[in-house]
Structure formats: C-alpha cells, structure tokens
Chain A
Amino acid sequence: MDVILFLLFAIIAVVCAINVVVQTHPISSALSLVGVMGSLAVLYLLLGAEFIAAAQLIVYAGAIMVLFIFVIMLLNAGAEGKRGRSFMASLLGVPLLVALLGLLAYFVQRVFPTARVHFGGFKGGSPRDVGLALFTTYLLPFEITSLLILIAIIGAVVLARKEMD
C-alpha cells in the first residue's frame, strides 16, 4: 500500500513538474505547480509530517499560488515567444542537468542503501510536537521570522504602490 501510494503521487508530482517546465503559458505552469504541491503534501503525510502537510496545502497551494495567479491575471501574461532560445544552452544544459541528477541519485543510493519508510513509523510530526519545538528550541528564529515578514510586507507595499503625481 505504501509503495502504491508513493509511486502514484511521485509520478503525479514528476509529470506536473515536467508540465511546469514545458508549458508555454504561465497559467498552465501555475496550475501544474499546484499539482506538484498537492502531491508533495500527500508524501509529507506518508512521512509522518502532518503539520507540514497542512501548512504546505494552506501556505503554498493556497496563498502563494493565488498570489502568482493573481499577478498573471493582472499583467495579462500571454504565452512566451519562441525567440531567444539559444541552441548552445540546450546542447550543454541538458547533459549537465542529467549528470547532476545522476550524481545526486548515485550518492543518495550510496549513503542510504537500507533505510526504509513505512506509514506511521514516525509519530513526532503532529502540530503539538512541532509547536513545542517551535516555541522552545527555535523561539529566536521564530521571532526573527515575524520581523522578516514585516519587512517583506513593507517592501511589497513600497514596490507596488501607485506613483503619486
């Protein structure tokens, strides 16, 4: 059952990620990205990360992607043109990316040859445990995060405000 669920959602994630890269229209890319994030949330659940799975759906698939789609609508972004794609870039880039993927996969297999995941094998990912760690060990980073978000809000407002005449 675990293997079936993993393979199903891994394949959905990879197909949607390929779709993000190959679609020419930004809206199609954005909707495919929502598919990636949704299937990743299911994989987080399989790994016992209940809080992060919920946060993934609410923050990423909910808030951030709505922001993206809102900006795409606002700018009326159409399909991108074909021009400017350098032949050299695909000639060198694709083999280098495949080499990077091969290296990463090789070292992952080397370092973790036997470790296995089964559903329910890790019970420390509930909101209670995450909150406990967040407000004890990671209290200072958490508070600094609020400062970061304040700065980001002010920056976004300053950047996107209407010019005064």
Chain B
Amino acid sequence: MGEVPISWYLTLSAILFVLGVAGFVFRRSIITVFMSIELMLNAVNLSFIAFSYQHQQVNGHLFAFFVMVVAAAEAAVGLAIILTVFKNRQTLNIDDISSMKD
C-alpha cells in the first residue's frame, strides 16, 4: 500500500484555490464568477478534511459540513440576486453592473 504525503493534498487544495481566485478576477460573466467562489470553498474543504486526517479528529469534517451548508444558502440567495439583476438590467456582464461605483 503506497502512501501519499499530506502536503500533496494541501498543494492540490492551494492549486484549486488559486484557480478559483483566477476565475473570480478574470471572468466577466457573473454566473462564472459565482462558480469560482464555489470552487474556492471546495478547495478550503479539502484542506479541512486533510487537516482532520492529520490530527486524527472529526472536527475538520464538521467544519467542512458547515461550509457546505453555508455554500448552499449562499447559492440560493446569490442566484436569486442574479435573477433580479438580470430582470432589471438585461445583462450578465459584471462590467455593466457598476452603478455603485459611479
């Protein structure tokens, strides 16, 4: 049975998090930006599970569980906000939704 260093799991988590940040910063579609946030939350969950293994405790699983619950609530509210924005502006491009900046 081979063994995987735990730093590989954490490095994978870092790679996924950085890709999520890249999507958040570079993408223009509001839905894809929202999906990048979910990707970042997933990356952090992987860290929690890996640390839970490292310390042989179940607490990290509970944190990951709560992150999932908060992500579900966030997705429901966020997608409702996207629907409302689209109803009022007829656009999904975040560059066109800048009335708070002006």
Contacts and interface: CB of A to CB of B under 8 A. Distances in A.
B76 A80 contact: no
Contacts of B71: 60, 64
Contacts of A37: 42
Nearest to A75: B86
B53 A122 contact: yes
A36 B52 contact: no
Given A1-B2, A71-B31, A75-B83, A52 B49 contact: yes
A129 B2 CA distance: 27
Contact of B4 (A6, A109, A137): A6
Interface residues of B, number: 71
A138 B61 CA distance: 12
Contact of B21 (A3, A36, A46, A97): A97
Contacts of B1: 1-2, 118-119
* Interface of A (DSSP majority class): helix
25 contacts: A2-B3, A2-B4, A6-B8, A14-B12, A20-B23, A37-B42, A44-B49, A49-B53, A52-B45, A60-B68, A80-B92, A85-B26, A89-B26, A90-B26, A112-B6, A116-B6, A117-B5, A117-B53, A118-B1, A122-B56, A133-B58, A148-B69, A148-B73, A153-B76, A159-B77
7 nearest A-B residue pairs (beta carbon): A152-B73, A104-B14, A159-B80, A116-B3, A156-B80, A160-B80, A80-B29
